[in-house]
């Protein structure tokens, strides 16, 4: 299901003339990170945020999509 949804989102982005897509994923969510890498996304930075009493880090992942 995840691949189907991602394919749809990327196709829609192409229809809208976008040249890249980005997303944020928690650094400890290794299953999601693996999926996004398989979908062609690569780490482009990080973002910290507060969750309850903790400071957590998201990876910002990016993928070029024009011509994909």
Q: In 3-state terms, what secondary structure has residue 4?
A: helix
Q: E-strand spans in 1-68?
A: 20-26, 42-51, 54-64
59 is catalytic: no
Which residues have a Cβ under 8 Å from the Cβ of 33 and sit 6 or more positions away?
A: 25, 27, 59, 61
Catalytic one of 6, 25, 36, 41 = 36
CB atoms within 10 A of CB 18: 13
pTM: 0.87
pLDDT tens for the chain, 68 residues: list them: 999 999 999 999 999 999 999 999 999 999 999 999 999 999 999 999 999 999 999 999 999 997 55
Check residue 36 and give its pLDDT. Answer: 98
Tokens standing for residue 14: 């192409």
Check residue 68 and give its pLDDT. Answer: 52
């Amino acid at each position: 299901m995840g691949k189907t949804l991602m394919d749809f989102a990327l196709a829609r982005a192409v229809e809208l003339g976008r040249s890249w897509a980005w997303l944020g994923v928690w650094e400890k969510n290794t299953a999601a990170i693996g999926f996004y890498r398989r979908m062609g996304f690569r780490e482009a930075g990080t973002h910290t945020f507060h969750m309850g009493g903790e400071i957590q880090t998201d990876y910002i992942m990016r993928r070029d999509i024009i011509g994909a």
